[in-house]
């Protein structure tokens, strides 16, 4: 393969989240979040009964981890999230121990030579707010706004890159539509209410950021963005009109909803119309349009793992009485990551880039997550004990190759963050699928050990040549 070069100012980094790494879930005044409570109440739902409590022990290991990201992987940037449940107390006031930790972490990232990217929400609502209705309750939107304002005021001079949410499509889908995560609800309409209220929360977060910046609380060169999982939609090779209609709605709800919000400050009219026609009523309040109009961002993060393949639905309405817009479709040529059950389709990131360039030409974006989680790879070691993860090299190489082509063809993609660069806790899958270039050895106090792929990643990140 011919080596491919990525632009000089293209950045490489690691994406992680607070609830999946920090641990010390009940120390320093931290409140329970949804994951902690679910772990306490039903530990059997978690792979090998490993709940949220320790994460990957990042609060103990963070200095070493930051050094590994910089020195072993050659990264210059690093994303994590603040845990709402650690930063604020039940009255919505700052928790001193949480404040101290994040100041310490952000300073340590700077000292390690890493630019920190801070996300405010990564599926981790404080449980007491969830018990009040979570995102179905508009008061929780107000609580989020207060949280965002406090975070901007406290850390505004330290952090340059801020994000309001990670994957605001995924939380409604996993918790309310597919019923995979607590509270295991399967109701399409409730999922859209959650999605709508998160959109309002996002826009209020952006407004809070702009106000904090005007007031001099946030540095002048700071930027605000949103991170979503963009799954380019595909259907059968010879599609019917109904198949194409399925694509329109799935793309509309998962992708265009957020792309329109962050570039135009509005939600896609065709999607809103179809939802209303099919009886999906959103909790719209007078004045919401003006709130959403403030939701435009400075740039966007695109998490890319897999495409969406859909076809016309086999029924119009489901058992809960909600509209059905599409059925899943398995592409006969699909290459699967069997561990995770996700299709591997590197060209999807190119297709996203081309759609963004065509329909949202002013939008600057970066790949904010991409990664490969594999089960049982610790069994596959060389004589020195290093995990032999050549498939991870191949996975990243293929994605970077398509990203380079997208840039060449006009995509405004400016960087790449690998998800879970150091193995971390994957929600109810716990440590089943490992994503890292750096192994976390659970049998030896969370010891960090670079895998085979680490040296390859370092070579690419420091040279910008993908070989
Ligand atoms: C993304 C999330 O959806 O994918 C991460 O932002 C998550 O939090 C990652 O860990 C990989 O998915 P999973 O379920 O295998 O951990």
The atom number, within ligand 1, closest to the CA of 427 reads: 16
Plot region of 408 (φ>0 → left; ψ -120 to 50 → alpha; else → beta): alpha
Residue whose CB lies within 8 A of the most ligand 1 atoms, among 427, 431, 433, 440, for a mutation test: 427
Q: Does residue 423 have its Cβ closer than 6 Å to ligand 1?
A: no
Whether 369 is a known active-site residue: answer yes
Whether 64 is a known active-site residue: answer no
pTM of the predicted model as reported, rounded to 2 decimal places: 0.98
| Residue 375, token pair as written in the block | 């089960």
Residue whose CB lies within 8 A of the most ligand 1 atoms, among 426, 433, 435, 436, for a mutation test: 426
Contacts for 447 with CB less than 8 Å, ≥ 6 apart:
440, 441
Catalytic residue among 136, 154, 158, 167: 167
Distances (CA, A) of 94 to 49, 87, 146, 153, 259: 32, 6, 11, 11, 32
Write out the E strands in 244-398.
299-303, 308-311, 327-328, 336-337, 342-343, 365-369, 374-375
SS3 assignment, position 164: strand
Residue whose CB lies within 8 A of the most ligand 1 atoms, among 419, 424, 432, for a mutation test: 419
| Residue 371, token pair as written in the block | 């990664």
CA of 339 to the centre of ligand 1 (A): 13
Please give the CATH topology (third level) of the domain spanning 4-466: TIM Barrel (3.20.20)
CA of 91 to the centre of ligand 1 (A): 30
Q: Does residue 433 have its Cβ closer than 6 Å to ligand 1?
A: yes
Contact of 146 with 284, CB cutoff 8 Å: no
Do the strands 4-5 and 465-466 form a parallel or antiparallel pair, or are they unpaired? antiparallel
Q: What are phi and psi of 176, to 5 degrees?
A: -115, -25
Number of residues that make up the chain: 467
Residue pLDDT tens, the chain, 467 long: 678 999 999 999 999 999 999 999 999 999 999 999 999 999 999 999 999 999 999 999 999 999 999 999 999 999 999 999 999 999 999 999 999 999 999 999 999 999 999 999 999 999 999 999 999 999 999 999 999 999 999 999 999 999 999 999 999 999 999 999 999 999 999 999 999 999 999 999 999 999 999 999 999 999 999 999 999 999 999 999 999 999 999 999 999 999 999 999 999 999 999 999 999 999 999 999 999 999 999 999 999 999 999 999 999 999 999 999 999 999 999 999 999 999 999 999 999 999 999 999 999 999 999 999 999 999 999 999 999 999 999 999 999 999 999 999 999 999 999 999 999 999 999 999 999 999 999 999 999 999 999 999 999 999 999 99
Contact of 206 with 152, CB cutoff 8 Å: no
């Amino acid at each position: 393969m011919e080596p491919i070069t990525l632009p000089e100012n293209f950045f490489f980094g690691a994406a992680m989240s607070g609830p999946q790494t920090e641990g010390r879930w009940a120390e320093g005044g931290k409140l329970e979040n949804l994951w902690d409570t679910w772990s306490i109440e039903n530990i059997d739902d978690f792979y090998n009964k490993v709940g949220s409590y320790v994460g990957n022990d990042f609060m103990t290991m963070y200095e070493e981890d930051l050094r590994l990201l910089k020195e072993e992987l050659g990264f210059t940037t690093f994303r994590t999230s603040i845990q709402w449940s650690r930063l604020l107390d039940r009255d919505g006031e700052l928790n001193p121990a949480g404040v101290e930790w994040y100041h310490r972490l952000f300073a340590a990232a700077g000292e390690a030579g890493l630019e920190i990217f801070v996300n405010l929400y990564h599926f981790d609502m404080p449980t007491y707010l969830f018990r009040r209705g979570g995102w179905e309750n508009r008061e929780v939107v107000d609580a989020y706004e207060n949280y965002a304002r406090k975070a901007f005021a406290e850390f505004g001079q330290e952090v340059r890159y801020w994000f309001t949410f990670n994957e605001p499509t995924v939380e409604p889908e996993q918790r309310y539509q597919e019923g995979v995560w607590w509270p295991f609800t399967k109701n399409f309409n409730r999922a859209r209410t959650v999605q709508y209220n998160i959109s309002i929360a996002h826009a209020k977060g952006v407004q809070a950021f702009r106000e904090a910046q005007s007031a001099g609380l946030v540095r002048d060169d700071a930027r605000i963005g949103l991170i979503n999982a963009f799954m380019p939609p595909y259907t059968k090779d010879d599609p019917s009109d109904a198949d194409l209609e399925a694509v329109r709605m799935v793309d509309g709800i998962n992708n265009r909803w957020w792309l329109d919000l962050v570039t135009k400050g509005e939600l896609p009219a065709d999607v809103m119309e179809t939802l209303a026609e099919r009886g999906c009523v959103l909790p719209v309040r007078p004045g919401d349009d003006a709130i959403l109009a403030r939701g435009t961002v400075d740039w966007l993060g695109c998490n890319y793992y897999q495409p969406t393949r859909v076809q016309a639905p086999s029924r119009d309405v489901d058992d809960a009485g909600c509209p059905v817009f599409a059925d899943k479709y398995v592409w006969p040529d699909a290459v699967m990551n069997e561990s995770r059950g996700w299709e591997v389709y590197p060209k999807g990131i190119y297709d996203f880039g081309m759609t963004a360039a065509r329909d949202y030409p002013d939008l600057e974006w970066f790949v904010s997550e991409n990664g490969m989680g594999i089960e049982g790879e610790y069994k596959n070691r060389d004589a020195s004990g290093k995990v032999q993860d050549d498939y991870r090299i191949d996975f990243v190489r293929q994605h970077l190759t398509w990203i380079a082509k997208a840039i060449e063809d006009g995509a405004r993609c400016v960087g790449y963050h690998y998800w879970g660069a150091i193995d971390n806790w994957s929600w109810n899958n716990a440590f089943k699928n490992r994503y890292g270039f750096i192994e976390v050895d659970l049998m030896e106090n969370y010891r960090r050990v670079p895998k085979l792929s680490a040296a390859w990643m370092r070579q690419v990140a420091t040279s910008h040549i993908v070989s």
